[in-house]
Every structure is written in C-alpha cells, then in structure tokens.
C-alpha cells in the first residue's frame, strides 16, 4: 500500500515517464499503467491511491510492482539509499519534462 506521508504521489501520466519504465527513451503508454493499476498482470496490481483529481501511484509502488512480477520484493532489489537516489533522479527528470 502506498504511504503518502513517505512516498511522493505521481499521476499515472507522470509515472509513464519514469526512466526505468522507458524503452529506447520513449515513455510507457498511459493505457499500460492504467491497465496495471486496474486489471494487473499475473494477478499482481500496481498500487494506487484515488484522489478527487484522479488515480495516483508512486515510483516506489512501481518498483514494488516490477519486483513482484519478477518474483522478488523491491526492498531486496535496491537498498534504501539506492531507492532514494532512483526516486530523486526520476523526480528531477519529471520536473524537467513538465510543461
């Protein structure tokens, strides 16, 4: 579950642009993230929070989702300092790409 007091919420559109989801520099399609959140993959769904403005997730939730799909927990993939650096890097990229 997403802890909004610790994790920075991202719109699904922002989550598409996370660097570790890009293929050949292109962001993931919005419908893919939405499908992960609503239907899931192999019984695993992307964690989201519903706000009046829409559905949101976090970079950490996406990492946990990817880890679960690969049969491991996201916490075993990255140390806390690596996770923090990855999130900071992703936020910097999102800030540069905001209109």
pLDDT score for 2: 85
pTM comes to 0.70
pLDDT at position 77:
58
pLDDT on residue 10:
93
> Would you state the pLDDT for residue 62?
94
Q: 23: which residues sit within 8 A by CB, 6+ positions away?
A: none
pLDDT at 74: 46
What is the model's pLDDT at position 99? 52
Residue 79's pLDDT is what? 66
Strands 10-11 and 49-51: unpaired
pLDDT at 88: 85
Q: Is 66 exposed, middle or buried (0-12, 13-18, 19+ CB in 10 A)?
A: middle
- Segments of the chain scoring below 70 in pLDDT: 72-79, 98-99
Give the model's pLDDT for residue 35.
96
């Amino acid at each position: 579950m997403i802890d909004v007091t610790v994790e920075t919420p991202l719109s699904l559109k922002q989550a598409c642009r996370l660097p570790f989801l890009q293929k050949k520099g292109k962001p993931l399609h919005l419908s893919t993230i939405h499908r992960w959140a609503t239907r899931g993959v192999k019984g695993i769904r992307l964690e989201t929070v519903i706000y009046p403005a829409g559905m949101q997730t976090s970079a950490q939730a996406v990492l946990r989702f990817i880890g679960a799909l690969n049969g491991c927990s996201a916490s075993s993939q990255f140390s806390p300092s690596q996770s923090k650096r990855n999130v900071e890097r992703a936020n910097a990229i999102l800030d540069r790409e905001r209109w």
